[in-house]
Amino acid sequence: MKKNKAMIVCFILPCLIALAAVYLYPVVRTVLMSFFAIDSVTADMSGWTFYGLGNYSRIFNSSTYRLAMWNMLRIWLVGGIFTLSFALLFAVILTSGIRFKKFFRAAIYLPNVISAVALATMWIQYIYNSDYGMLNRILGAFGLKGVKWLGTDMKFWAMLGAFIFGAVGYYMLIFISGIERIPQDLFEAATIDGANKVQQFVKITLPLLKGIIKTNITFWSVHTTAFFLWSKMFSPIGTESTTIVPVIYLYDTVFGSQGNAARDAGAGAAVGVTLAVIIVLIYAVMNGLLRDDDLEF
């Protein structure tokens, strides 16, 4: 018995050490940094100066940070509604027994296989381009004037639209996995009782997808708070107010930005902690609202 316990410890210990080194230590260090005035991420702890809640006060009083949070909220709310709605719609259609469902499933998921950089470049160069972009060509075919999609007024929504296009397939597969776990006997019984497809969706599918919906909302929240690459691709030269999000603000604060070489790792850590707290709160709310984690029959 002792040998078995020793063997179990020997197998688990490397994983625990790796977990502590890769995840636990950075988290603890980041939380501590958020309460100190620190210039550089790599600064020795002996050079840290206790600042209390000063870093949090600084970021919350920053108009740039508040704008970044507003942009993130719009991405989370508006983007989440469209992304999860389309993902659920496609999932329901593809599990309804239509022909060529494997082809359509692969086609919808394809943007997730393509590099995000390549996907963003495709949208910028071939979809939104003012001169030869697909959208303006379609408008021109109907005799309408082209739109400056990457202008100041439209850039945020153009970026969000491209991001939604690339994200739908990922959440669609999660919804499909949940729908396929629902026994077909329930739908057959509902059909015999005279329930149409809409009634079956509302009375059977949605209630039994509570756990999946909670999972997708949590994943979407994580992806929204980590919204970095798309913002950089749509504003490659410098940070713009239309595309700035908290992680971009964090990056500029910690490493400096164009025209501002000042660095503040403590304030950047405070941004990271704030985003982590937001994720935890969203997860807690989802647990409270959607209590059924598993499908039960």
> Where does the pLDDT of residue 258 fall: very low under 50, low under 70, confident under 90, or very high at 90 and above?
low
Question: In the chain, how long is the greatest CA-to-CA distance?
Answer: 81
d(CA 220, CA 214): 10
Predicted pLDDT of residue 235: 87
Spell out the domains of the chain, with CATH numbers in brackets. 55-289 (1.10.3720.10)
Residue 296: the pLDDT is 47
Within 10 Å of residue 183's Cβ, how many Cβ atoms? 12
Question: What pTM did the predictor assign?
Answer: 0.87
pLDDT score at 297: 44
Residue 186 has pLDDT above 90, yes or no: no
Q: Which of 195-199, 213-217, 245-249, 254-258 has the lowest mean pLDDT?
A: 254-258
Per-residue pLDDT at 295: 46
Handedness of CA 135, 132, 167, 102 (dihedral sign): positive
Mean pLDDT of 117-139: 90
